[in-house]
Amino acid sequence: MDIVDKTVKEIKELKIQGAENIARAAIIAWSKAKDKKKASEKLAKARPTEPMLRNVLKYLEKFGDAEGLLKKLDEDRKKIEEIGSKKIQDGFIVYTHCHSSTVTSILKRAWKDGKKFEVHVTETRPFFQGRITAKELATEGIPVTIFVDSAARLALKKANIMMIGCDAITAEGIVINKIGSELFAEVANRYDVPVYVATHSLKFDPLTFFGFEVEIEKRATKEVWDRPPRGVKISNYVFEKINPKLITGIISELGVLKPETFIQEVKRVYRWLIEER
């Protein structure tokens, strides 16, 4: 099995997960592939609902600089960490959902900067990615409490800030993230807890400029209940849309911006994203 097929397999099996981790793995696989065009086609199909994957592949097809792109992602991650960590203050309770490498890197940066805070995280069924977040933060010495998903109100009630990741952003400023995210954002708004989305701006989906709808991924029902009784249907949506009205700001390498301003900045900075469609 060559590196492209291996990477596709690991993405589909969730051995590689998280939009940015998937994008990075795809860049490395593409750079080592002999047939670049075929590699792009295979990698794009690994997660058709991930705009960051499509965007980095477009960049590679247009500019061919895999090393430069990886360097940019590293530099941008540091910018996002620096910007996001300023939103964390001493004594804060930070609420997050699922696992976002961007969010955890921001929290680790804030902790290394000497800020003392604690984190509440919901477990995120059916794959419990919240446990990944909890383990990562606990390893750094950050106090963390994990809540079952249905206890999110308790996790949020005394929080000072809600910070989550992102899988896609549409031209309307709608953020797509792990299922439960909009529900918890609504709870946060009820308790006047500001909601921040931490993400790289390449998670913006340029196809939505042209009327395409972001596909909300559904996974196998057996992940929720392997053998449900006859007559019981299973819903296993992986992501959901978050109304931009619920979002205080999007934290990216472009700064902290309202969703509508974020879209305008992406159009200005990444013109190649919407060219030649």
The predicted model scores a pTM of 0.93
- According to the model, what pLDDT value does residue 230 have? 95
- According to the model, what pLDDT value does residue 126 have? 94
Whole-angstrom distance, CA of residue 62 vs CA of residue 209: 20
- According to the model, what pLDDT value does residue 209 have? 87
Set 98, 149, 166, 205: catalytic member: 98
Q: With a cut of 50, which residues of the chain have pLDDT below it? A: none
- According to the model, what pLDDT value does residue 276 have? 55
167 is catalytic: yes
Please name each of the domains of the chain with its CATH number.
3-64 (1.20.120.420), 83-274 (3.40.50.10470)
pLDDT in tens, 141-163: 999 999 999 999 999 999 999 99
Contact 113, 85 (CB under 8 A): yes
Helix axes 101-112, 129-139, angle to 10 degrees: 20
- According to the model, what pLDDT value does residue 49 have? 76
74 is catalytic: no
- According to the model, what pLDDT value does residue 211 have? 84
Whole-angstrom distance, CA of residue 10 vs CA of residue 125: 20
CB atoms inside a 10 Å sphere around CB 243: 15
Set 76, 149, 166, 167: catalytic member: 167
Which of 45, 17, 60, 127 has the alpha carbon at shortest distance from 272? 60
